Homo-oligomer: A and B are copies of this chain.
Amino acid sequence: MSIQERRERERTHRHRLIVKTARELAETEGWEAVTTRRLAERIEYSQPVLYSHFAGKDAIVTAVALEGFEELAGVLSRARASAVTPAEALTAAARAYTDFADANPALYDAMFTLTTDLPFGRPDSPAPLKAAFGELLAACTSAAGDRDAETFTEVAWSALHGLVTLARGGRLRTEQRDQRLGLLVGQLLAAPGRP
């Protein structure tokens, strides 16, 4: 009884160790350095052990991504708590989002570039995904005015995501980062023109 409990505990501990190690390895050496062999070596177990915890390497990346969404939701939540006006809320969320992405590039890659099988916007979506998008929605809703809040949120989110990914690939002038963010938020807060 107690022994089984201990084993259970050790298993979940090792489970977390795998995810944590994968994330660290990715953040320090890039995802291309995260191979099952290297990962196994780091956690000081043999390779097949990974497959007793995860269906495959993709599942490990997905686990890291989920962790990322959880943290992103937290970051956005704190940003929202610090804001009073709708404009402040949107500004704070935008800054929090891009800061998060810049501070955790490999994590962000896991969330948006490497992972394709996470079901978004569905009833069976994992809680962290719902939480993260919910925070974005909350930050955007008040600023949306008479525009559809969800569509507005999708657009704002896309714009932030685009800024992050294009900047990452060296596609944008690095020193203009803040100007771009300011311009974007300004446009989102503006009364819409006729397209």
Contacts and interface: CB of A to CB of B under 8 A. Distances in A.
Contact of A151 (B162, B180, B190): B180
Interface in A23-58: none
B169 A116 contact: yes
A194 interface: yes
A193 B195 CA distance: 17
A189 B154 CA distance: 18
Interface residues of A, number: 47
A182 interface: yes
A157 B180 CA distance: 11
A185 B195 CA distance: 6
A2 interface: no
Name, among A155, A160, A190, the residue most crowded by chain B CB atoms within 10 Å (CB to CB).
A155
Interface in A151-191: 151-152, 154-155, 157-163, 165-166, 169-173, 176, 179-180, 182-191
A78 interface: no
A113 interface: yes
Contacts of A154: 166, 172-173, 176, 180
Given A87-B195, A161-B166, A189-B193, 8 more contacts: A87-B194, A116-B169, A120-B172, A151-B180, A155-B183, A161-B165, A189-B192, A190-B190
